[in-house]
Amino acid sequence: MKNSITLLNKCRICKSQKLFKFIDLGPMPIPNGFLEEKDLNKTESKYELSCLICENCELVQLSNIVNPDLMFKNYVYVPSVSMMMMDNFRDLSLQAYNDFGLNQDSLVVDIGSNDGSLLLFFKGHGTRVLGVDPAENLAKIAKMKGIPTEVKLFNSKNAKILKNKYGQADVITATNVVAHINDLHDFFEGVSDLLSKNGVLITEFPYLVELIRGNEFDTIYHEHLSYFALKPWLKLVESNDFEIIRLKKLSTHGGSIRLTHRRKAGKNKKTNSKIDFLIAQEESDFYNKKTLRGFATRVATLKIELLNLLNNLKKKGKRIVGYGAAAKGNILTNYFNIGPEILDYIVDSTPYKQGLFTPGKHIPVYAENRLTIDRPNYVLILAWNFADEIIEKEKDFRKNGGKFIIPIPKLKIV
Ligand code: TMP
Ligand code: ZN
């Protein structure tokens, strides 16, 4: 495919060329590129995966951009398999519905609407809803649930088309999607066009400070072009004439933040103590090469520790499988070189992943009930962000003597 990868030589936001590379994971397959058995002998494309910080605006970003068509047209990830994600969506919808006085005339547009999970909650409150997502397979599912969905990437050009067709939105939600968007100024231009005068934009994204603190290196992958701390996000927001009116910390995806924005009211800069506090913390602890290098070193140590553990268990004849064929799990297994010789298989509740093989390492993916039938000795939780939920769900596995290995934030056996 043409332009399948673009190498970045300046910051995507501020265009500065002062970029510092702090972690290099090498060539990696696209982490949601699961394979059918018949394709296992074909050569898989791999794309460089490394992370830079812009020394001017402090945005952390990937060094290479893969063509979005390769990643998002047919998408296998759905949030609806997790109670934690659904609880969070319910909370978001309730907050928006109550705080902004929505009613049956209000229009909520969800960018990156996936299988319609978030909009289903808004629909339950009685608002009008519209999903926007480039994944044809997921839009079909959303439509079956009664969620109208436009199969499109969101950008300023498409925002105009949506506005003409549906009118302006009172709420625009964009959860776990701004990191996927290359041109963020264009994103805000589209939001500004589609959003009504007093409308709000609600975003959620993993918080970079948690990523670094929690050694969450495996959430660095081709889909995620940006890794946001608050300071560069606020700069971006303000340069597009928006302001942040609310901030909430979330536990999703290893530590995220939900931000509510509206058009800037007046010329004066609003102060928000929560935001000021977090930015001050970021500035004192975070934007320095030492912190970022320390992160890369901890990841290298984790690799040695986990491989030692798994190899020792194999030597003792233990059977180990993986839990959660998450995109991040595919990064971890590829970067740490953990293949089917160590993990017999991975279980995952997502129907679209079952029966397929993981990209790069070609580990087979089965439904979760395989665990009960097969009873391996150890389960490596690759979807570590759902570790509590998974351990609770698989109580019987532990009761029967099985053990869980959690690799991140710190290697732990429970
Ligand atoms: P994510 O970390 O990218 O959100 O992906 C999590 C993966 O874990 C996803 O493929 C679904 C899977 N999963 C299960 O298989 N069982 C579970 O109980 C949960 C919570 C997730
Ligand atoms: Zn920059």
Which segment of 7-21, 308-322, 373-387 scores lowest on mean pLDDT? 7-21
**Sign of the torsion angle spanned by Cα atoms 243, 249, 251, 253:** positive
Q: What is the mean pLDDT of residues 239-266?
A: 95
Query: 1.20.120.50, 3.40.50.150, 3.40.50.720, 3.40.190.10: which CATH number matches 79-285?
Result: 3.40.50.150
Please check whether residue 205 is in contact with residue 236, taking contact to mean a CB–CB distance below 8 angstroms: no
Ligand 1 contacts CB of residue 113 (under 6 A): no
- The amino acid sitting at 144 is M
Q: Could you report the per-residue pLDDT of 101-128, keeping only the tens digit for each?
A: 999 999 999 999 999 999 999 999 999 9
Distance CA 163, CA 149 (A): 14
Ligand 1 contacts CB of residue 235 (under 6 A): no
H helices of 57-176, in order, are 68-72, 83-99, 117-125, 136-144, 156-166
Ligand 1 contacts CB of residue 328 (under 6 A): yes
**Sign of the torsion angle spanned by Cα atoms 378, 384, 388, 394:** negative
Please check whether residue 195 is in contact with residue 150, taking contact to mean a CB–CB distance below 8 angstroms: no
Distance CA 169, CA 174 (A): 13
Residue 316 to residues 230, 306, 311, 404: CA-CA distances in angstroms?
47, 16, 9, 17
Task: Look over the chain and give the mean of its residue pLDDT values, rounded to a whole number.
Answer: 95
The confidence band for 3, taking pLDDT boundaries of 50, 70 and 90, is low
Q: Angle at CA 276, nearest 5°, toward 291 and 195? A: 110
Ligand 1 contacts CB of residue 356 (under 6 A): no
Residue 148 to residues 26, 156, 319: CA-CA distances in angstroms?
40, 20, 46
Distance CA 144, CA 130 (A): 13
Query: Residue 322 CA: which ligand is closest?
Result: 1
Give residue for tokens 């041109």: 183
Taking CA atoms only, the protein residue closest to ligand 1 atom 13 is: 324
Residue 247: helix, strand or coil by DSSP? Answer: strand
As a whole number of Å, the end-to-end CA separation of the chain is: 45
Q: Could you report the per-residue pLDDT of 351-401, keeping only the tens digit for each?
A: 989 999 999 999 999 999 999 999 999 999 999 999 999 999 999 999 999
Whether the predicted pLDDT of 329 surpasses 60: yes
Residue 20 to residues 8, 189, 340: CA-CA distances in angstroms?
12, 29, 35
Distance 386 CA to ligand 1 centre (A): 7
- The amino acid sitting at 60 is V
The predicted pLDDT at position 1 comes to: 47
Cβ neighbours for 42, distance < 8 A, ≥ 6 positions apart = none
The predicted pLDDT at position 69 comes to: 85
Ligand 1 contacts CB of residue 106 (under 6 A): no
Q: Which of 88, 224, 350 most suits a substitution to test ligand 1, by most atoms within 8 Å of the C-beta?
A: 350
Q: Does CATH place domain 290-413 in 3.40.50.720?
A: yes
Q: Which helix (H) or strand (E) holds 152?
A: none
Residue 54: strand pairing partners: 19
Whether the predicted pLDDT of 229 surpasses 90: yes
Taking CA atoms only, the protein residue closest to ligand 1 atom 5 is: 326
The predicted pLDDT at position 77 comes to: 81
Nearest to 260 by CA among 142, 128, 91: 91
Ligand 1 contacts CB of residue 86 (under 6 A): no
The confidence band for 288, taking pLDDT boundaries of 50, 70 and 90, is confident
Query: Residue 393 CA: which ligand is closest?
Result: 1
Distance 88 CA to ligand 1 centre (A): 15
Q: Which of 115, 205, 348 most suits a substitution to test ligand 1, by most atoms within 8 Å of the C-beta?
A: 348
The predicted pLDDT at position 8 comes to: 82
Domain boundaries, the chain: 79-285, 290-413
Whether the predicted pLDDT of 137 surpasses 60: yes
pTM above 0.85, yes or no: yes
Distance CA 252, CA 228 (A): 15
Report the 3 state secondary structure along 348-369: CCCCCCCCCECCCCCCEEECCC
Distance CA 158, CA 165 (A): 11
Distance 337 CA to ligand 2 centre (A): 33
- Cβ count within 10 A of residue 126: 12
The confidence band for 76, taking pLDDT boundaries of 50, 70 and 90, is confident
Distance CA 130, CA 113 (A): 8
Residue 206 to residues 253, 343, 357: CA-CA distances in angstroms?
6, 28, 27
The predicted pLDDT at position 6 comes to: 77
The predicted pLDDT at position 271 comes to: 78
Residue 82 CA: which ligand 1 atom is closest?
20
Q: Establish whether domains 79-285 and 290-413 are of one fold.
A: yes
Whether the predicted pLDDT of 2 surpasses 70: no
Residue 338: helix, strand or coil by DSSP? Answer: coil
